[in-house]
Structure 1
């Protein structure tokens, strides 16, 4: 049976919580919830999602480890590195060492990535200072996703590249083109999709295609700091919650356009991560998945995510599979 939760217009349920937040919605028996919208993925939802596996074909949604060639915010975020250790222990035996910032390639934003900026609090009231300064509260770290068995459920792909071509929409994936709520609804109707509680919604903007074709000399998608994504209007934020989605993801830098046409910045990040405990996937490689979905004529699939099991982890490498 689906979980019964308030509509967005009835949030918050706690009088001291930020407007539009779901703080307290998923608490049980006086215990503060740490899973947020992943609570929508019930065991019944997982069992139902298995019906999406029809041809036995799986697609990895991680970009190659070294892409994009220039990390977003390279002045802070280091480029991923890979070093091979040779002739270990005097034998012909290899080890390798990898180093990366979880934001430098395909990844899921965890619930400690973005706080409510005015309140300086993460989902369900976890204080920024308790995480970043004293490190006395790591309950929202990505290890919590591992504790619940990872993320497994039904995924949906909305292919804006295909939609734009069909409707003669000219746009550039390296700008802050904003995909509107009306376009999202059109894509859902065009793909004959019905959103179910606990679904993971993915949107292909075409940025992953550009990243894959880029070179080290011409591989910086961050010039101008304008990024494609959804138009995070107040109406879109309300719609996302009211669909009871478990998570959202895309091949864009931040899922939402930065900045949005109204000048807002990271509105959906604050609403989803800090407000509802909803994971946001970014820089996914959606090229192969779009190809398979179009070939098969269906846009839903089974999804598995195995997060990095890092206590207090802020984000995790994507580690996501779509299985059709």
Structure 2
């Protein structure tokens, strides 16, 4: 789930920033922004209108991000989509078969798209705007470095994300976070603009909105990442139900082995499994990690 969270957060910040820039420019040159009315509460802010505006932009941004999530993943990772009707290698057909088998076992009515991307990292992710239009993708490094049972555990985990509808629930959470981001960033920008001369207020407010928008979005990603870590435990349980607890636990232990090996080899190597990928490690960056520590995931799975 790490990569889909990363894609979703990046897309969300880009979409939200674009929407706010467009709205700010439009309202500035047309003078029709109803959320700012001089003389209201001493700050010139119509809080009710601003909250409605924030809700529309916040949830609109998150649902646009959701709609773009699968397309963004394919483009950013250069994913090769595996069509079952095409000529596939034995390894590629085995991946498709596993995804479809677990999808049927999970009760999915529509089979996810299946893809492989060329990378030495040991990773997999699932994304998409709905169960009907989902994508399950694995790295070439995962297929080369893990045995068949581990691959089954990882794929079952990703299919569980799709079956659980995690991207939709994450979108709703992101919509709430976005609403507060838009609301607070505009209030902060207005307050900052009041500290300069009137002829400079537009420039300062415009710049401050963008800066606060990005800053608060990054802080808001802490909430989204915390939810993602919670859903990882749930997907581990779902993966265990689909592939068997032994295979799911074996997959997590294999991932831990590769994490340790990559860390020893080169802590800065791009192929290492880092914070925003399949394992969550670090100190302060752990707040932004989409995945909990592998030891904790293994322990919880074994306690079932």
TM-score by length of 1: 0.22
Larger radius of gyration: 2
User: Whose RCO is larger (CA < 8 A, sep 6+)?
Assistant: 1
TM-score by length of 2: 0.23
Choose between structure 1 and 2: higher strand proportion: 1
